[in-house]
Structure 1
């Protein structure tokens, strides 16, 4: 930061126009000095706690619970404050009250004989907990996080010593009045939610909110209401973003995955997309086809045999449409280098076989009533009608558009934040460890510039005017980001969807990972990536998800001596047999970087009624001897610049270059 004695007149005069604008906000020496003192003080506060989650895949209940309990932070704070002064059952009960205040209060009101005593005891406990959680923040920041209804009361209770003698009667009066006027219940709900906000200063979601699990919409709604969040897009997110833009290949893929996991309710009931045209078409075309390879995976709810049969037919119908549409994109985008993935053209329809990489395989299913062998990628008139109607529904779904607009506003391909580089899957590399490049519109891009260019094009695909080359290219790019070999969100050479459905030989199902995943234990590679994004290799970490960590086989999420952290531990139930866990959370507070591994979550109901919690294990990845303060963060850098500007303004006042108001 600037020293006042080192600021020259020339420096002040060069910024005089800007300083005059700044003087509108700080119109005199007194207000300027007050703000400098305030900002200098903020720099010395401990940095706020950051939480990192990834690959949630629609599993809304464990996600919401982890958010409510701060990945165990709230329970640890209860232990710090109350220690041996409360029984374990009382600590569990208090924690549950903070997580689920409305539901817990309903149970307590039915069971407790004297609610006044219960209110009094728990109000004091919650005020202590809230005070402890807010201690690292300024009053103004805490005020912003408090709901307006009880803001004044909570501030009064937080920032004074309730147990002190001078105002003891005053504070007891506040508590008693809240109980007497029947506002204790509302106050408890308000302060519990404030505690939830205070334990997480910043939430980072590293992609894949969508697909597989039942309710990604609840997750997005929760994030939209969150006080501070950013999102790094995952391949499943970009798929839905492309679908919302109206890109038909993305739509077909999204529907296929929803059918595969028996999760079409999210499409129809939540987003209001009419699937009747697809169902009618599928029943007509595949009425005598058992569609065995397309039977949905078991879901949490009972699905009748008739419903499974219909879903399987819809599943096959949209898959064939998908393979045809993919061929069209690949043909018009030679720079995607994906000719080998135009699957309908590789089938010998007379022999019922397909040739892949020079080898021929018999197909498990040879019923292709909608494919013309002379023009395999051409949609039938009926298929065109079906996909056009569904695309119109996607584009006109108000709720889907609201959710996807939020993903664009809060999301990006990567984020460099507080000495960490965050992205979903990988930075594409060659076998020798160098950055893999891709030619886009005639120009080669790689590393950081590749991610930035892809993001810019994807945004054009959603926001650009309809029926323009820019929008079409952007929508095609969103599909490429879902499945392309140089996609930082996908990280494999091929997506062998067709082979998994139609070819029995499992060697054809293999999807080779980008060399990034083989080299991520190499410190030189990590340093190269960290430097590429303008960070210091001695202070920084790479954090990503995408590839589930198979901890039960001994794999560690901590790579390259702690420089790279893979935090996909299996929030999605589909991966939990593979990982042996039910998700990771990374916590970055002022003193340490902690990796929290979670066991499966039973249900919100069990958490409320039985006062159960997710069993979590914390591993300290890195501990700082000297606590990191706001001055050590990205916000701290911004504050230092603000202080420098205010110092210039102060001198401009003192030299008479700007008049005080």
Structure 2
């Protein structure tokens, strides 16, 4: 072992007893049951639905309540208690107002605190005392620990415990204690959260989701294609920046840009007002809560939508021309337009164009930005780089995220592994070298991280490759032949709108293909699963999210309201505890108020994916591997620094 490392260890463990104690502690932890992992995907800015799923642990909270109190509480009372755990502040206010007498309220407080303590004890049964202590509300740690480790065998301390609870109530601290216990339960039912991509775009509050994740006790993110757009914009990619503004305009969510991140859109609005008029193809998809938006605001969004779309198409052409390795020359669409006749030729067929808004395009040099457009984009990029909140969020994504993750024998990936029709790994040639499979994804991630570290540099290869991740044929995040955004705006014939998926999305039904992918990433195909997001599962049409004999699990079931008519549900989540995996389907989340009033959840069905033959322990997990390495280091320290000197 490196002597410098030994010196650092001896600063922390300066006696033989400390080393031995830590070895015993870590070795004991290895024999605990593995913690519960919670998988979510494709949140798309739906903060309130995500919050509810997070608070109820995809049904894990109510399941523990039912297990513990099934012989004591009715179904209605179980629902009431579960709602109190999910939304303690709001539910407590309702309950307090429902009691006519203070005496009745005090009895309810005492019963509720006692039940909360029992539930904390039950939910924490597979954790060490020190881990539970960290999860407790700091202002009540001593009180809760006294109640938590109550021993009533001889009834010697019954009055002691009763007096603690009574004094908490008489001092007006019951609400605070119950609230703290509720959040402790939420934390204990899920040990680790995986977000398998697409926090951003479509929905109204991705910034609030990011704030939640930054305060979550244990989380990782596998970047989705929409997340990479935001990372790319922050990393200096003007075309990624144009894309995120266009999508926000399309879904009437420009407030994310302006109010959420403080980015000034006034220069873009001035440009839009100068060159664009109303255009039905660019009117925003309205959110139901915004039906009363004034017509003038809709017109402004429509103009901005057109202005940024044209800028985006121009910037994309510039990248395609300077990066021949991207093999996208067939997407130089602005050069294929007959501007006088308003037609375009694609694959030998001439199509009429409608809803055109080509006022700032020079037919002789269609990819060139006007001076005004260039000034606007420079100002927007400056604002992006100086948004303190966005900087915090993107740094969090980079520090806690990756394109894929190998975790506890499973492969977590948002999009796909690009494949050929025969199931072999699809190759991409860059600078004369071929990349495929894991090596290709590693290349993408290395360039994305380089672009992030050098955000003041634009138009370099790494920054262009970030955009390729959004729209390129060989991108593991896009997974289609072409992105037909232009065609959907301007061509009526829907045959041109078709986006052909990579063979992966058909072949992932095949168990042997999934096993080969797991092997490609160094995972055991007998034990592992691929956990996927990105493509909504159309359960309404009978599609099964559990594929390839359970080797493939797709958990994008439609958190985004835009997808729910197509999927028939409102998202899948996955739970993986020491007993195995369960897939949870969710009904549409209406509101927190609905849950509080009716005590209803948004869960529909839990399906067993895999049942462990033998309960899995911490020793068999990623964390267990790290603990084993720590034990080995401590044993070496004990041998060389202490016993050697005896």
Scaled by the length of structure 1, the TM-score of the pair is 0.94
How many Å separate the matches in 2 of 1:468 and 1:567?
A: 35
Tell me by how many angstroms 1:465 deviates. Answer: 5.8
The corresponding residue for 2:360 is 370
Tell me by how many angstroms 1:441 deviates. Answer: 4.3
How many Å separate the matches in 2 of 1:38 and 1:281?
A: 64
Are positions 1:99 and 2:89 aligned together? no
How many Å separate the matches in 2 of 1:83 and 1:621?
A: 25
The corresponding residue for 1:323 is 313
Q: Secondary structure at the match of 2:606?
A: strand
How many Å separate the matches in 1 of 2:82 and 2:51?
A: 15
* Contact persistence 1:462–1:474 (CA under 8 A): no
Q: Secondary structure at the match of 1:616?
A: strand
Q: Secondary structure at the match of 2:315?
A: helix
* Contact persistence 1:162–1:171 (CA under 8 A): no
How many equivalent residue pairs? 641
After the TM superposition, which segments of 4 or more aligned residues of structure 1 sit over 4 Å from their partners?
14-21
How many Å separate the matches in 1 of 2:388 and 2:599?
A: 38
Which 5+ residue runs of structure 1 have no aligned equivalent? Answer: 1-13
Tell me by how many angstroms 1:436 deviates. Answer: 1.3
Are positions 1:577 and 2:565 aligned together? yes
* Contact persistence 2:236–2:458 (CA under 8 A): no
User: Closer, same or farther in 2 for the Cα pair 1:36/1:314, shift >3 Å?
Assistant: same
Q: Secondary structure at the match of 2:562?
A: helix
Q: Secondary structure at the match of 2:140?
A: helix
1:459-510 deviation per Cα after TM superposition (whole angstroms, max 9, x unaligned): 11121262377xx322212111111111111111110000000111111111
Tell me by how many angstroms 1:646 deviates. Answer: 2.5
Tell me by how many angstroms 1:15 deviates. Answer: 6.4
The corresponding residue for 2:552 is 564
Are positions 1:520 and 2:508 aligned together? yes
The corresponding residue for 1:606 is 594
Q: Secondary structure at the match of 1:84?
A: coil
The corresponding residue for 1:633 is 621
1:391-434 deviation per Cα after TM superposition (whole angstroms, max 9, x unaligned): 22222111111111111111100000001100101011112211
The corresponding residue for 2:377 is 387
Are positions 1:543 and 2:528 aligned together? no
How many Å separate the matches in 2 of 1:146 and 1:473?
A: 48
Scaled by the length of structure 2, the TM-score of the pair is 0.96
Which of 424, 449, 454 is equivalent to 2:444? 454
Tell me by how many angstroms 1:378 deviates. Answer: 1.0
Q: Secondary structure at the match of 1:129?
A: helix
How many Å separate the matches in 2 of 1:24 and 1:183?
A: 42
Q: Secondary structure at the match of 2:12?
A: coil
Are positions 1:77 and 2:64 aligned together? yes
* Contact persistence 2:236–2:457 (CA under 8 A): no
The corresponding residue for 1:251 is 241
How many Å separate the matches in 2 of 1:416 and 1:253?
A: 30
Q: Secondary structure at the match of 1:644?
A: helix
User: Closer, same or farther in 2 for the Cα pair 1:93/1:25, shift >3 Å?
Assistant: same
How many Å separate the matches in 1 of 2:546 and 2:457?
A: 46
Q: Secondary structure at the match of 2:421?
A: coil
* Contact persistence 1:349–1:366 (CA under 8 A): no
Equivalent residues in 2 for 1:587-598 (5 A)? 587-598=575-586
Q: Secondary structure at the match of 2:384?
A: helix
* Contact persistence 1:28–1:653 (CA under 8 A): no
Equivalent residues in 2 for 1:152-301 (5 A)? 152-161=142-151, 165-287=155-277, 290-300=278-288, 301=290
Which of 421, 425, 430 is equivalent to 2:411? 421
* Contact persistence 2:237–2:458 (CA under 8 A): no
Which 5+ residue runs of structure 2 have no aligned equivalent? Answer: none
Which of 41, 61, 65 is equivalent to 2:28? 41
Which of 85, 89, 97 is equivalent to 1:110? 97
* Contact persistence 2:58–2:603 (CA under 8 A): no
Equivalent residues in 2 for 1:298-377 (5 A)? 298-300=286-288, 301-302=290-291, 303-377=293-367
The corresponding residue for 1:4 is none
Q: Secondary structure at the match of 2:556?
A: coil
Q: Secondary structure at the match of 1:594?
A: strand
Tell me by how many angstroms 1:632 deviates. Answer: 1.0
RMSD: 1.7
1:338-380 deviation per Cα after TM superposition (whole angstroms, max 9, x unaligned): 1111221111112211111222111113441111111111111
How many Å separate the matches in 1 of 2:589 and 2:263?
A: 31
1:232-290 deviation per Cα after TM superposition (whole angstroms, max 9, x unaligned): 00000001111122311111111111111111111111111111222222122113xx3
The corresponding residue for 2:76 is 89
Q: Which moved more, 1:421-430 or 1:341-350?
A: 341-350
User: Closer, same or farther in 2 for the Cα pair 1:119/1:590, shift >3 Å?
Assistant: same
The corresponding residue for 2:434 is 444
How many Å separate the matches in 1 of 2:455 and 2:591?
A: 44
How many Å separate the matches in 1 of 2:589 and 2:154?
A: 42
User: Closer, same or farther in 2 for the Cα pair 1:653/1:408, shift >3 Å?
Assistant: closer
